[in-house]
Structure 1
């Protein structure tokens, strides 16, 4: 969840450093605190996140390039976007649980049906054990609602996240198409890259049947990098 638009000032500082304040951790450029694009103070909940952001600023050369500053972009989104509409963002992400990728299964061919069950059922079992919700898989693409009690439980868990966690969690869920896999990544069910591959099962299957598509592969690589960054951002925002 990122937005730094075309904001590219020249580098004017010699050193970026972390400063601890009463409100959290700040990043300072030669002693001057960094602000978000909306001019809010860039105050972080953990030293680890502040240090990651300071390292990004230190790595800039003659011109600031937001593309190379993913932790900064995520923090900006948390402060300028998520924090001011936190309940709405949480509700939007919780809604993925009612149409979770893992619950919509093919009815043919038999090999794909079996592969989906073998790959996705363990994630649903994990959600039942760890999150306390049992989502029901269905065949086809027509929406079939999940139990209201399960969605209520998942909604409470999403609302419990702080704005910085929620900004990262937004990408874990939206990129994978699965609330369950978002939680699975956040809570370390398996390695983030393995969870990403689980979310790509259908695309991988299609590629194996029809051959690779260079454009689709390039887009998938960008999304994978964003997913892995979101996991790292979630971890150091906690």
Structure 2
């Protein structure tokens, strides 16, 4: 079933209006389309095949993802706003791998990141904020522990909480079950939310991207309710974070669906 991308590209269009002065260029094509190449799918711009920065053909293993990429290019206006094109950036990075990373490299990074997860650090100065964090973040932490059958402590002050060896092993197996493109996207989502736990909850569909972003911004939103907002600034930041997480999840979902289809095909044969 094709994914409903309208909300995602509505966000991207809003962001692109505010990013037009950063890493932009004039639109040089009339329309974007998808093309099938053997078992993979690609994108064309006026019949010219889209390539990565390193000159590789930009191909993906899902028609849905290819159509989402084409829609991302079609959503650009007179000016191409590359900072808002998260799907294209993620696919380029997965293919070119400029950092020459392996799945084990990313997995190790994500496991180490857990000790600094946003939702493990409660306020020790504002009791009202701490109560709010315990209420909102506590439910997600409980889900995480039940989902992976682990026990994870929260931080005491600024001291990072310990991450048991058993937890590291469980998460390593889970992360390594994803292919490189999906793992790269998960990493992108984790860095956006500053939280492996929130991103895992999104991947498992326990949380929606908008919910995860609000939880990641819980302290900021609390302060904004107290001291007021700067018109548009905070909303724009929230939209940008949501677009990033949504793009990452689309990569993960299409990759997971593709791997599941491959496994089913093997079993049936």
Tell me if structure 1 keeps the 8 A contact 2:32–2:44. yes
Tell me if structure 1 keeps the 8 A contact 2:153–2:161. no
Structure 2: distance between partners of 1:7 and 1:84: 27
Pair 1:64–1:208, CA change in 2 (3 A): closer
Superposed CA offset, 1:178-202 (max 9, x none): 1110100111102221121111111
Structure 1: distance between partners of 2:246 and 2:47: 32
Partner of 1:75: 91
Partner of 2:120: 103
Structure 1: distance between partners of 2:68 and 2:41: 12
Partner of 2:108: 91
SS at match of 2:41: strand
Cα offset for 1:38?
Answer: 0.9
Cα offset for 1:67?
Answer: 4.0
SS at match of 2:97: helix
Structure 1: distance between partners of 2:32 and 2:242: 29
Cα offset for 1:141?
Answer: 1.4
Tell me if structure 2 keeps the 8 A contact 1:97–1:151. no
Structure 2 gap segments, 5+ residues each: 1-21, 257-269
Structure 2: distance between partners of 1:215 and 1:18: 35
Tell me if structure 2 keeps the 8 A contact 1:8–1:65. yes
Partner of 1:47: 63
Partner of 2:264: none
**Is 1:133 the equivalent of 2:137?**
no
> Given the alignment, which residue of 193, 197, 201 partners 1:176?
193
Tell me if structure 2 keeps the 8 A contact 1:97–1:180. yes
Structure 2: distance between partners of 1:111 and 1:7: 44
Q: TM-score, with normalisation over the residues of structure 2?
A: 0.74
**Is 1:185 the equivalent of 2:197?**
no
Tell me if structure 2 keeps the 8 A contact 1:134–1:150. yes
Pair 1:115–1:202, CA change in 2 (3 A): same
Aligned length: 233
Tell me if structure 2 keeps the 8 A contact 1:27–1:33. yes
